[in-house]
Amino acid sequence: MLTKTFQRNDLIGHPFKDQDLLKQALTHRSAGAPHNERLEFLGDSIVNLLIAEALFSRWPKADEGALTRARASLVCESALAVIARTLNLGERLTLGPGEMKSGGHRRDSILADTVEAVVAAIYLDAGFEVCRARVLPWFEASLAAVPAGKPEKDPKTRLQEWLQARQKPLPVYELVSETGDDHAKHFHVRCSVADPAVTTEGEGTSRRLAEQQAAAAAIEQLDPK
């Protein structure tokens, strides 16, 4: 199994000199040490830098707000999970028995973390320039799809601005429930708008994602288009 895993580097696009780096990047903490959490930490910063650099270069007239929103949309959990599926990282993950039974290889949070870990592994294996050359093509379609300088604002920002424009109270987000193990949390959040009175709920693998979902539902009720 391991031999098969490490021979299939074609979708990642990088021939690793140090195969142990790739092995670690594809090992979830549920499978024991060495796992990919430290690589994920490093990869998170590298991905943000690569996308910030790409946007800065491609959008010379965009302001900080537009650049920040675009980067957030391109490196969010769901976007990274799409990349992981494109690279078939899920089927290559080494997971503990519990995660294997619960379908961890399909979970967005685990897939997104794995992408970041693989990015860090490439960086450590070959340096920043090679890492940029290998990784940016993974984001090319998403980069091209974002309207230049005008990325859509996230639901929480749109809801806040909609209410502020009408001098209405800001929404209140309340955590309804938090379930699951540390590595597989599930959040249930309620969004309450006082005027006009609207209450919506959202769920996700992080509190932020649940709040965004609840805000999106509120916007849909308040400002249907």
Active-site positions?
A: 44, 116
Quick check: helix, strand or coil at residue 35? Answer: coil
The answer to whether 24 touches 94, Cβ cutoff 8 Å, is: no
Q: How many residues does the chain have?
A: 225
113 is in an annotated binding site: yes
Q: Which among 168, 167, 225, 223 has a CA at the least distance from the CA of 200?
A: 223
Torsion sign over Cα 85, 91, 92, 95: positive
178 is in an annotated binding site: no
40 is in an annotated binding site: yes
State both tokens at 80: 């990274």
DSSP state of 95: -
Instruction: Give the DSSP letter string of 114-179.
Output: HHHHHHHHHHHHH-HHHHHHHHHHHHHHHHHHSPTT-PPPPHHHHHHHHHHHTT-PPPEEEEEEEE
The answer to whether 53 touches 139, Cβ cutoff 8 Å, is: no
Q: Which residues are annotated as a binding site for Mg(2+)?
A: 40, 113, 116
